[in-house]
Amino acid sequence: MEKQNQVFQGKNVYGGIAIGSIRLLSQSEGGIRRIQARDVEAEVVRFTEAREQAKEQLSRLYEKAKQEVGEHEAAVFEVHRMMLDGVDFADSITKMIRAQEVNAEYAVAHTGEEFAAVFESMEDDYMKARSEDMRDIASRVIAILQGRKTEELRLDEPVILLADRLTPGETVQLDKTKILAVVTRHGSVYSHAAILARAMNIPAVMGVDFPEDVDGKSAIVDGYEGVLYVEPDDALRTKYRNRKNEDEKQKHLLMELKGKDNVTPDGKRIDLFANIGSVSDVADAVTNDAGGIGLFRSEFLYLEAEDYPDEEKQLQAYRAVAEGMEGKPVVIRTMDIGADKQANYFKLDKEENPAMGYRGIRICLERKDIFQTQLRALYRAARYGRISILFPMITSVEEVREIKKITGEVKAELEREGIPYKDAPLGIMIETPAAALMSEELAQEVDFFSIGTNDLTQYTLAADRQNAKLERLYDPHHPAILKMIQMVVENGHKHHCRVGICGELGADLTMTKIFLELGVDELSVNPPMILKIREKILSMD
């Protein structure tokens, strides 16, 4: 009887095909027992010293990662160091040691799990992923308290690595030449370990419930579909060898397009920019030859924080993106909190229809202190590159004029304080039918438009894009959407206002020719799509 393929489904983190043998990574920390502390203050000192050692380890990992995968990916370890340095985390541990008279290891494990549980309870996927960061930080401190050393994994030959979970520290220490793919039981596609795997170009799948008896067995990893095949049969091997060969040919073809201009044979040109969600994504944009950043979603700074990020923290993030793009344009969207992106400390009321509720610019114009802090950081960061500022969820000229009044006040305040800054072009998202219909008037107020086709589609067609039952109604190709895009382009150009598209429709290769014919100035897409669109443009009739 022919052997059946064992198939295990997970979530794709980074595309690619890997064929090889499995190496199962053992990650036993030993049990963390609750022990009555004889000397409470000695336990507090033990924790404090271990925390300092952990911070030193993270600094070393930052330097290693900076050399091997780039400064922006290395920022993961700076984030961990800051989280470890957080007052709430340290205070909770020391208070527990003193109040319950327990050993430092138990207090760290218990507190780390409590903090992780808070993140896991959040609706936003990005925030859920921060639970892995909390567990990583706690594990690092516990390992130091227990006197355990973390050693780099030694491999004699290339393998498919399977693990319960991988921390960013473990990920960055992997020998890329010996890792064909990474598969984990736990972890999120938004985790920092996932970000590092993508930066290292390693096919990766997370959330796979694989059995324990797989070490040494043959396997195939389909990073595109998020599937692990254990002991595949000959037919499946042949299929995936062919796919892997096609993959390599496609990668070589796309690499040949690097550095080429996005111009059709008959002379039509369009800029191809990248959409990114964090500082670490800049490396992906650079690797894929983005002409700039067309959409940097700044809300990640708010979603990963326990409180409102201050001006300095924001400045460092915006500056890192600007410098990382080395003089290429960078469009940073002001925080689009609300709807499906919730941060608990904002204390937003529960809404029946949050997509049409209190979100984006509506929050900013009401809670001006938060808005002004972000604008100060943006204008200061503009000195380090070509930053433009983009405002979401606009519906009226009055909103834009109020924004411009506030930006003027912010610049005047920086001037009075003697703080260096640089002016920046202002743009708005066209993602509501109101903004599209008012685009001629709005074009006279701003420097550029960025059409967010995802929200524009759901608002125009009255079809919630997150409601599976309405999937057939949510149609970005609907004639009404295309007419709106055409109207926005014509009205924008009439008043010398650049028009780009940053929604998912921009990456639709069946639409590329239409966008060129409509005169769209720029498409901003996920980085891996940039060279594919360029190939389409260069071969267009």
pLDDT average, residue stretch 127-143: 82
**Residue 492 placed within a domain:** yes
**Residue 261 placed within a domain:** no
**Residue 246 placed within a domain:** no
CATH assignment at residue 311: 3.20.20.60
**Residue 123 placed within a domain:** yes
From 110, 364, 497, 502, active-site residue? 502
Does 530 lie in the same domain as 444? Answer: yes
| Length of the chain, in residues | 541
Give the full edge-to-edge strand order of the sheet including 6-9. 6-9, 227-230, 218-222, 17-24, 159-163, 179-184, 204-206, 11-14
Host H or E run for residue 425? none
**Residue 448 placed within a domain:** yes
pLDDT average, residue stretch 428-439: 96
Does 446 lie in the same domain as 355? Answer: yes
Does 392 lie in the same domain as 288? Answer: yes
Is the pTM value of this prediction over 0.85?
Answer: no
Does 321 lie in the same domain as 198? Answer: no
Residues 6+ apart with CB under 8 A from 527: 274, 275, 276, 281, 284, 285, 287, 288, 290
Does 332 lie in the same domain as 383? Answer: yes
pLDDT at 262: 94
The question of whether 495 is a catalytic residue gets the answer no
Q: Residue 313's closest CA among 86, 54, 57?
A: 86
pLDDT 10s digits, 338-394: 655 666 777 777 767 767 777 789 989 999 999 999 999 999 999 999 999 999 999
Does 458 lie in the same domain as 533? Answer: yes
**Residue 250 placed within a domain:** no
Least confident residue range of 255-269, 276-290, 423-437, 489-503: 276-290
Question: Does residue 538 have a pLDDT over 90?
Answer: yes
Least confident residue range of 150-164, 217-231, 525-539: 150-164
pLDDT average, residue stretch 323-332: 94
Question: Does residue 154 have a pLDDT over 90?
Answer: no
pLDDT average, residue stretch 137-166: 83
**Residue 85 placed within a domain:** yes
pLDDT average, residue stretch 426-435: 96
Question: Does residue 328 have a pLDDT over 80?
Answer: yes
pLDDT 10s digits, 472-516: 888 889 999 999 999 999 999 999 999 999 988 998 999 999 999
Does 441 lie in the same domain as 362? Answer: yes
pLDDT at 348: 73
Where does a domain end: 145, 176, 198?
145
Mean pLDDT of the chain: 87
∠ CA 260-266-272, rounded to 5°: 40
> With contact defined as beta carbons under 8 Å apart, do 426 and 388 qualify?
yes
pLDDT at 150: 57
pLDDT at 239: 95
524-539 as b/e, with b when 16 or more CB fall inside 10 Å? bbbbbbbbbbbbbbee
Q: Work out how many domains the chain is built from and give that number.
A: 3
pLDDT 10s digits, 443-452: 999 999 999 9
From 72, 80, 110, 192, active-site residue? 192
Q: Residue 8's closest CA among 327, 228, 338, 256?
A: 228
Does 350 lie in the same domain as 217? Answer: no
CATH assignment at residue 84: 1.10.274.10
Q: Which of the pair, 326 or 385, is modelled with greater confidence?
A: 385
Residues 397, 441: Cα–Cα separation, whole Å: 7
Residues 505, 519: Cα–Cα separation, whole Å: 15
Least confident residue range of 62-66, 242-246, 476-480, 516-520: 62-66
The question of whether 192 is a catalytic residue gets the answer yes
CATH assignment at residue 200: 3.50.30.10
Q: Which domain holds residue 449?
A: 273-538
Q: Residue 25's closest CA among 199, 187, 201?
A: 187
Tally of CB atoms within 10 A around 420? 10
Q: Which of the pair, 244 or 1, is modelled with greater confidence?
A: 244
Question: Does residue 442 have a pLDDT over 60?
Answer: yes
φ, ψ for residue 297, nearest 5 deg = -80, 100
Least confident residue range of 45-54, 114-123, 371-380, 497-506: 114-123
Question: Does residue 123 have a pLDDT over 70?
Answer: no
> With contact defined as beta carbons under 8 Å apart, do 407 and 428 qualify?
no
pLDDT at 9: 93
Highest mean pLDDT among 59-73, 179-193, 217-231: 217-231
β-pair partners for 407: none
pLDDT average, residue stretch 3-27: 85
pLDDT at 1: 37
pLDDT at 124: 59
Does 199 lie in the same domain as 114? Answer: no
pLDDT 10s digits, 86-110: 778 889 999 999 999 999 999 999 9
Residues 237, 104: Cα–Cα separation, whole Å: 50
Does 95 lie in the same domain as 193? Answer: no
**Residue 111 placed within a domain:** yes
pLDDT at 67: 75
pLDDT at 309: 86
Does 515 lie in the same domain as 404? Answer: yes
Highest mean pLDDT among 193-197, 339-343, 423-427: 423-427
pLDDT 10s digits, 271-318: 999 999 888 778 778 878 999 999 999 987 887 777 888 999 899 899
Does 207 lie in the same domain as 69? Answer: no
Euclidean distance between the first and the last CA atom of the chain, given in angstroms as a whole number: 53
